[in-house]
Structure 1
Amino acid sequence: MMSEYHSFQWRFRFPGRSNSVFLKSLTMKGFKSFADPTLLEFEPGVTVVVGPNGSGKSNVVDAIAWVLGAQGPTTVRSGKMEDVVFAGTPDRPALGRAEVSLVIDNSSGSLPIEFTEVTVTRTLYRTGDSEYSLNGVPCRLLDIQELLSDAGVGRQQHVIVAQGQIDQVLNSRSEDRRAIVEEAAGILKFRRRKERAERRLLATEANLTRLQDLQREVRRQLRPLEKQADAAKRHGAVADELRAIRLFLTGQEIRSLEAAQAAAKDATAEAANEQVRLRGEIGRLDIEISTSESQLAVAGDPSTDLLPRVESLRERCRGLIALIEERSKTTERDRGALLASDVALTLQAELSRLVEELDGLSERGADIEQQLEEIIRTENQLQIEIESLEVDGPLIGLEAARKAAEVRGELGPLKRGLEQGSGEYERLTRRVSELTKQIDEADERLDLLQVALASASDAEPALVEDLDRAQKETELAEQRVTSLVEEQQLATKDEQAWRARVEALEIAAETALANSGLQQVSEIDGVLGVLGELIEIEPGWELAVEAAIGGILASVVVEDVVAARAALERLGRSEAPGSILAAHSPYNDAEKFEVPNALRRRVSGSNPHVDALLNSLLSTSICVDGGWAQAIDAALEQPELTVVTTDGDCFGPNGWSVSPRERTSAALALDEARDNLQIAAARREAADSERKIAEADSVDVRRRHREAQQRLDVNDDQLTRSADGIEKVQRQRRDLISESEIFTTRIDELNKALERDKPRVADLEGRLLELEAAERLERSAATEAHSQRQDLEQRIRTTAQSRVQLETSQNATAEQQQRIKDRHQEITSQLEANNKKGEENSDHLLRVDETLTALADLRDLLQERFELLDSEVGKLRAKRTELSTEVRLIADRLEALRRERSGLEKNLAETQELMGSNELAETERRFKLDSLKEMLRNELNAETSEALAAPEPSLEEAVTPSARVRELENDLRRMGPINPLALQEYEALKERHDFVAEQLDDVRSGRKELNKVIAAVDAEIVDVFEAAFKDVAHNFAQIFSTLFPGGQGRLTLSDADKMLETGIELEAKPSGKNVRKLSLLSGGERSLTALAFLFAIFRSRPSPFYVMDEVEAALDDINLHRFLELVSEFREEAQLVIVSHQKRTMEAADVLYGISMASGGSSRVLSEKVAS
């Protein structure tokens, strides 16, 4: 076993039994005195937990009860539930939570869950938060209770008998004992079912009352609405016919407009297709015109630009050949210099020659630069002239023609738009005036509705205040009724308690009287009565007198010995008990009472015989002031006297005794109980009277609350109707305003369009005249400009050829200058390094030979290319002369293309004009359609589909729909204003009335079904309870006779006619005793009787385990032996866990746990394994 759990066991014998165990283990962490984690493993049979007082062994029982759902702090012996958390000690701090886990073996399947082991865990934090879990899964307490209820472990936890609970079984009410039997019998689930049905029945009754009130109120409102609804129905019939005809006419108009719209759409589509085709043709012509213009711009042949490039390449090839020849010469000289004997002199001579050549090349380069600048200036001037021709040339004529066509295409639609816009402007202006008038009418209706709404709103706070006040009064009345009912119940309970006390005291008095034998000897001469009834004691001295002679107060007093002998003979013959005192006998000595503080002075007799007897009985009794300490001192000083105190303490030759402080005499107790009974009865009657008055007041208050609710409901209906009406009128007004704003916006747009288009038309007309004139003038100048452009282009080409030749010569000269400079630098370097590189001349000579060979190959290749380029230049110059005829043909084709494009532009303008006209007409039709649809929604509350589907109304012959519309409108005007909502309200209220009636029927049917369910559940409860009670009563009689040999015990029903409510009365008569009240039993007898009752329940309706805490503490050895024999019988049937101090109980255990309190203030489980 794990050491951190501090859990050990003494293991004893295990008799043969099933291995099925219900409780397997209990783990406590921070629970009460168990600060450290503690594990207890349970075994089959009897487990006994022992330990000294204060060690915490009873906390084990509390832990089991707590983890199984105990809710009251007193159930676990705490002031509040948070006290179960370890509170700490001076040596260790308090803990923040308590946790208990109980592992249950479910291998037998007793619990309805698919686990062989069930772990129930409960955790409580010091903050008050609590958690439950089953097998580690969070759950509710109800889940645990329902799971365990099927195994016989209910919420009352009758299987757990805690300290002091034994006596509660006898002291509890008969109804409480019934609850224990019901829990063991499994009646709790029936009770819960009945409670749910009763709660539903109460709710049903409340709903029934509410529905009946509602039905009366609805019926009252229904009558006046019926008349208004009839008028509204007649008005509605006329309005419906009018609406149907208007709907038909509007549908016809919409159908006509949509047909026209579809036709216009087709025409527009055709025009759009034609426009696309024309634009495509124009685009194609633009491409051809652009191509022709490009061909004309380059003189009709790409060779015009190719010739200068070929000539440039030829000249550059010639320059490269000259350059290679020059380089070859230089290389030959280098080779000759290397072969010469005096290399330095040769290099010096070559250096002088290079300087002369460089000077000549500089002069040649300056001449070429001057010629090149002159040619560039000429070329730039020619380019400026040709650009001027392009700006003023024939292309402007083409641009002017295109712009003129665009202006004509824009001007036509604008003119037609001006005419149509003016007509639409006038029509929309008239429609806006009509809408303004309708808006004013809506404002008037809105004002009336707002006045009604304001009136209802002003009344609302007062009505709400009245309802709140009535609600508070109702709640206060109900609270008062509840409080008085509770007060009456408390008073009744108090009365019953005092009545039981009076009965017990009266029975005790009757028993004492019966034991005195007075009934048997009362007819004998000389019998005076019972001593207690023949004396009178001064107030405050009753306990002292009882202490001195209490044992004989119930004895019968006779006059002399003769009467005493006769009384004894009578008692002997009747075999009845009795006690006889003779007033005059040889033992009486009247002089002995004369002692200081004699008790005799406080008592007087009813006759001289009794006084003489008192002189004898109290002659040696004195009373001292103070407590028992002073009485002991007096008794020691005068040992022959009997010393008593006013508290009932007694010290004399026969022994010393101290009376409990709360003790009172039997007579005083009976008188006090009777007085308190009368007071309690008076309190109960007064509470009952006040309750009845409060209930009557509550009925009146509820009636006022209903009336206030009804007034508020009526006002709320008025508010709702007014608000709905305002919302509807506001919606109509918003629609009218929206339509007016749309038309106003359209008017503004038309006005702006007219103001914008009129200047635009005038501007376009003037611009068109200018463009047409420019087109004519510029087309006439096209041919002359083209000729000038060709001459300038030829001069530009010639100048470009000269510029290319000069640039080639300039580049060749620059390259030769750079080459001479490089050679000059090279020779200079050679002269400086001649002395150092003499030995390398041979290698250098070899490289020079290789260079000469490569230069010769390159010169031959360039010579071939030069001859090829020279031939190509000749061919290109011959071809250029053939281009003049082709240029003329291109110009003629360009003119034809331009004429064809102008014709297509005219057709495109006409198509655009047609599309603009169609678009304007389509816009007008669409606007008219939108207006008709808006009118349908606002005035007829219909959609377009409904209007199109509207059938043609059947009218009399020669009556047109339009004429019928005018006739119906006149009828409506003659009918005057009606309540338009009356019919709707009547139908809604009638529907509500029918619905309430149906609900009433349903509620009554539901109430009947609930009563059937409750009756069925009651019958089931009665059957189950009768069977359980019969078994428990039978087993109680058997177990009681076992525990009390010769005794009789039985269970009876307090009211057998009321099986649902009757309690269980318990009667116990041990052998040799005639006891009619359980309160007269001794402590041990009470414990055995309670155990007999509990074990009778255990045997009748077994549970898998039982837990008992010191239930045998009050038993002597004989009764303990009987109890243990009973436990031995149950050992085979269930698992028992017993907390005990008794050695005999420990010996009967199968498993023994020892609990001790460690030095740190935490309980620990200590053990040691021993042999069986």
Structure 2
Amino acid sequence: MYLKRLEIQGFKSFADTLKLDFNKGISAVVGPNGSGKSNIADSIRWVLGEQSAKTLRGSKMEDIIFAGTQNRKPLGFAEVTITFDNSDGKIPISFGEVSITRRIYRSGESEYSINGTSCRLRDIYELFMDTGVGKEGYSIIGQGQIDRILSSKPEDRRFLFEEAVGIVKYKNRKLEAEKKLEIERQNLIRVEDIISELEKQIQPLSLQAEKAKEYLSIKEKLKIVDLNIFIEEADQLRKELTTLEESSSINEEELMRQKNFLSDQKEEYARIRQEIDKTEEEIFQIQNNISDIKTLIEKIEGDNKVILQEIHHLSQDIRRLQNECEQLQGKVVQKDEEKVQLSFKANGITLELKSKKAILEEKEHHFNELTKLLSASETEIERFKSDIIEKMNQSSDLKSNIQKMKGLLEQIENRRNQIETEKSRIKSQYKEQEVHLKALNKIHEDKQSKIQILQKDIDELKVQNKQILEAIQQKNRHTSALTEKMHQLKSRQQILEQMEKEFEGFSKSVKSILRLKQEHPESWKGICGVVAELVKVPEGYETAIEVALGSSMQNIVTTTEEVSKKAIEYLRKNQLGRSTFLPLSAIKEKELGKEKNQLMQEEGVLGIASSIISYEPIYHNVISYLLGRVIIVKDLDCGIAIAKKYDHKYKLVTLDGDVLNAGGSMTGGSIYQKTSSIFSRSRELRELTSELNTVVDALEEAKKDLIKYEETKNQNLSEIENKKSVLQELNIELVSRNHEIEQCKDALLQIENKKKQFALEEEQLNIQYEDLLAKLSEKTKVLNDIEKDIEEIHSKVDTHQSHIQSERALKEDLTQSITELKIQISSLEQNNDHISENIERLENEIQALILEKHKKEEEIKNCYQQTEFKQQEIQENKSKIDHLYLSLQDKTNSQNALQESKKERLVRIQEYEEKINKTTENIERIQQEIHRLENKKTKFKLDQENLFNRIWEEYEETYTSALNYKKDMGSIAQMKKLSAEYITQIKSLGHINLEAINEYEKVKERYEFLSVQRDDILNAEQKLRNIIQELTASMEKQFKENFAVISSNFNEVFRELFGGGKGYLQLTEEDNVLESGIEIIAQPPGKKLQNMMLLSGGERALTAIALLFSILKMKPSPFCLLDEIEAALDDANVNRFARFLKRFGDQTQFIVITHRKGTMEVADTLYGVTMQEQGISKLVSVKLSDVVENEEAS
């Protein structure tokens, strides 16, 4: 696996699409500062999932989109695609190539895809997990990662090691398991709370369900009686309707007969009317035909007049055309004579042209000979000029060399003087350096003393902080316990509040009224609430008060009877069940009477139920009405004794919920819970609120103590950091002083070396001076010879120039003579051409006149033919007019016959109109009788519909289904009496909760389901704990083993990079390897073993690089991008770094962003990033191996 290709579009300074193809080995990206080369590293980090805009050197993620320049518009998105070669299958996906694409728009929306398929960011993280590839792995190392490795906090270095040892995947699984475990714990708390509440509801619902079943049994008997009454009444109505149907049928038949007769009369009437209309249409058509014939006759007669005029016009045209033909013949004769005269003139011009051309040819031959002679002379002069230029160039070069030699002689003289001055200066410097060296040694000893004192102070502060940390840990444990308890109480409080909000434990009808008041408080302000909500029961009395109230707990208290009526109508209308309402304006209180004081003195009597509970005074009558005659006693024995004594006149209830009813009956046994679901819930909610406030106060106090401890600890840490900072500064100063001492010694050595160099340089300068003097004399002699040659050549040029001038004068005379001849020849040729054109024009005009004459003759012939045709057309029109007069007479006769037929049909139409009117009167009379019968029938049907609707509304039964319940139960009166008795029995049952049957089954089913769910949650919780333990053990083992390998590798690589010394890694907490920080201890050659923070900048960077190579040695990454991590190294260390790159390049693909020469030299491929256009990065690529091959070939 290796990085094969990177494609960038619109990312930062890469406005145009950029494609980089990488090979195995080492690739280097180089370029000047600000050219955008580090943007390549940012693009790889970004496409692998980086979410921090700050890490990408921006303030927000949209900043990475190309923002435009003066010449370029901003882009709307940025996209990067990175492609890996996966032929070895290291990435767990079945593709030979894996491409990861990320795109971001200016809206902030991001898209991710793997091989073109959309995916989540999490999918990309998981794909590369534990491969070393990723934004947090060690495959991308820049200055930011180097700073984190060099950080003073050991915990910040773990990111590199966790990825390297391969526990990231396990760690993520452990975190997911811990989250699931916490969710299961919360689920368990909720389930147990719900189960507790369900246990309190089952027993009351069981009693209510039994009562509801009894109600349903009586209700079924009442239904049978009502259905039999319905059947009898429905049968009576059906008989009445049958009689009415028979009468209606007779009238309907008579109405139909009359309507049929009327229809026949109307059809005959319509037929005759149609015949009349047809006749009228035929008359109208004949009239139109007569009119058309008359119009046609007039038209043909008009046409004949027009034709006669046309014949007259044709005769005039014939005479005119004959005159024009005679004129054309005269013009043809005239043009022939002009043509003959022009031909004689053209022959004379041709002879003169031939003579002029012969003279011109002779003069042009003489001109060409003279031109050749001039050209030869000019070529000779040019050759002389070239010789002059060559000699002048030689002269110039010699003068330049002579001038340079004179300058060099002057420089040598100046340098001799400088050397004398430098000798004097370095002698003074040597004395100054000796004094400075003594002062530096003294400062070095003072710094060493201060460092020892500071180190002692730091150790003492660390001891103090260790004690404070132990106190913080203890306080944290206490805070965690309080926090957990607070969460438990809040969870329980939320459940109880939710149950109250949802009116848990109340029937469907009660819930609907309470929700109605909650949603519309103004419209339903007359609803005061449910009895159970309006009272507060002391602890221990919940069971007794619940049993005493029974189903009355769910009675709804209202202000008036009107409000109760309105609520009952709402329940009925929406089919929400039934409820009992207690209007404050109607309910009267109930009291024990005279024996009250005596009863209160009896042993075991705890009080009257109404006086034990607390409530608002406004509800006194309601509470007294329900509980004013109920006595709460200690136990059943006391209750039996009191009941016997007072002859079973009062209702007694024990604290355990046993009841001694007035009259002697007893109710008791086991109950499902010790406290009431509704009453105990309210009390528990109040107690929870109080306890929660106490816990919150204790938690706040504990947090304040923690803050104090933290402040003390932070003050100590701050002081430690300050002292460490001072210590570090002292160490840096100490290193700086050591460096200055070394520099001072080096300076003394350099001064000695300079003395030797100056002596050697003086000797060399003397030799150069003598040599230059000899060469200067030789060059001056050569220059004089060249200047003499130049003067001789100038003389030859002057002689040739004189000959050329006389030849040019002769050439100009010939040129003028030739030009004049050419002008004369040209004029003669133009005259000759003009005469030829006139002859040709005359020939064309003669032909045109002949053609026009022929055309006129044709027109005359055509006019004779048209005249003959027009005369024939006049004869044909006369024949047509005769035929049209005969047709006009026939049409007039037909019109008269149709008028007589129309009169006869109009008489028959009047007879049929009288019959139709009489039949219509009969139909109206019959329809009135039918309407009267329909009204009566409608009334009976309405009665029948109301009867059927009432049965459907009450029992959802039809007549057919009701027949299944038909029995012989006597007359309708007897059945109605029996129905009234059943209604009385239902009323005596009191409030019935029909929902209790279903609610009981649902609560029971839910209780059983949740009990099974609780067991499942406990099993899942235990499995999760086992998984977490296994993952922790695996991670600890794997981390320890691989950490030891990295530490060993680090020592080896450190020694190689530093050329000696030693380095190792150690955990800050050996017993907690998964959370422990990692210390890097380094000892460069010649220095003591110390923390990495005390090293110089270059040593720290080289140490971090050693750590990177030690990890790659243990677990090679498929590719590694290094962004200027060697920037702080000197040239020698850069070369060592480069050698390591070369060594690891066989197993890891390196992409290095650098500007160091040593790193570039080991690269297989160089990519140069430039900004040819301001603000836009471009790329060029060169393979070094190709360059080497080309050099060898040459």
TM-score bucket of the superposed structures, by smaller chain: 0.3 to 0.5
